Amino acid sequence: METTYPSPAFDDIRPVNDAEVPQAVEDLISSDGLWRALSYIAPDADRAALIETMRSCRTKAEFKQTISYKTVMAIARRSTFSLTISGRSRLPEGKAPCTFISNHRDIVLDAAFLNVLLYDVGYDMTQIAIGDNLLIYPWIRLLVRLNNSFIVKRNLSARRLLENSRILSAYIRHTLRQTHESIWIAQREGRAKDSNDQTQTSVLKMLCMAGEGDEGLLDNLMELNIVPIAISYEYDPCDYLKAREFQLRRDDLNYVKSERDDLLSMETGIMGDKGRVHFTIGTPPNDTLR
């Protein structure tokens, strides 16, 4: 099914439309940055065969199933002992679109692993929320938009943050109601460096901003069909990087991460040993709120 986005306000944050996929693929293929990254992540990849496969993708769904799925599974085989999921019976019946909210351990792989696990049990892959601070190079922005990700803008003034939160909330509602796709979003901005997995109130407030005016907070939350997920990594390859950042922030109130810090965290998280990785689907709040 073709996905369209009627509001121009969504243009800065939405994934590509299916009609835009062929050109986006060509732009991605022409990016030297992509091939440099792949030479590090998958040095044995057949470039010519991969280009041919990429060009065969005419929709985002095809790109995710033929490119993204295989890439993520290759990473899992290389860097995990096992990748498992439990609580499948708690998934909404009839594949109803839902809002997956999870703790946040790895910049790239939390949502990527969830999508391949959902796909393996016959559930549709989600749209993924990703912070624009991670879109360091144009080819990364293009790749995540091809992979059906939508962009969360960070480091904004208070006024612009409020405006963009409203747009983001409206986009999520549109995705659930009109395009009938599930979405994934982390329960907080950034990974929990201290393993405190408490959901940020600001995330819930943002999700409710686009609710109907005469509906209460609980009704707005129920419309989102939230499904909580707990993610566990036996080993965190970024543990020393998180500890370093945590200490730097403690010792220097003006400390700001660099783009290189984010790149190093992405590379280390993808390539490092993670041991047993497990996703637990929790009980949807709607089951107790009804």
Structural domains of the chain in order of their starting residue, each with its CATH number: 8-289 (3.40.1130)
Residues 152-168, mean pLDDT to the nearest whole number: 90
> For a pLDDT cut of 70, what percent of the chain falls above it?
96
Instruction: For residue range 25-69, list pLDDT tens digits in order.
Output: 999 999 999 999 888 888 888 999 999 999 999 999 999 999 999
Of these ranges, 7-16, 118-127, 198-207, the one predicted with the greatest mean pLDDT is 118-127
H/E run at residue 54: helix 47-55
Task: Return the pLDDT at 4.
Answer: 56
pTM for the full predicted model:
0.92
Is 156's pLDDT higher than 90?
Answer: no
- Alpha-carbon separation of residue 161 from 77, 153, 238 (angstroms): 39, 8, 29
**Residue 224 confidence class, pLDDT cut points 50, 70, 90:** very high
CA distance 106 to 16: 24
Please work out, in degrees rounded to the nearest 5, the angle formed at the alpha carbon of residue 181 by the alpha carbons of 213 and 95: 105
* Strand ranges, E, within 28-167: 80-86, 99-102, 127-131, 149-152
Assess contact for 227 and 92: CB atoms under 8 A: yes
Query: pLDDT band at 154, cuts 50/70/90?
Result: confident
The pLDDT assigned to 1 comes to 47
Q: What is the pLDDT of residues 236-266, one digit of tens each?
A: 999 999 999 889 988 988 888 888 899 999 9
Is the CA virtual torsion 136, 55, 110, 125 positive or negative? positive
Q: pLDDT band at residue 220, thresholds of 50, 70 and 90? A: confident
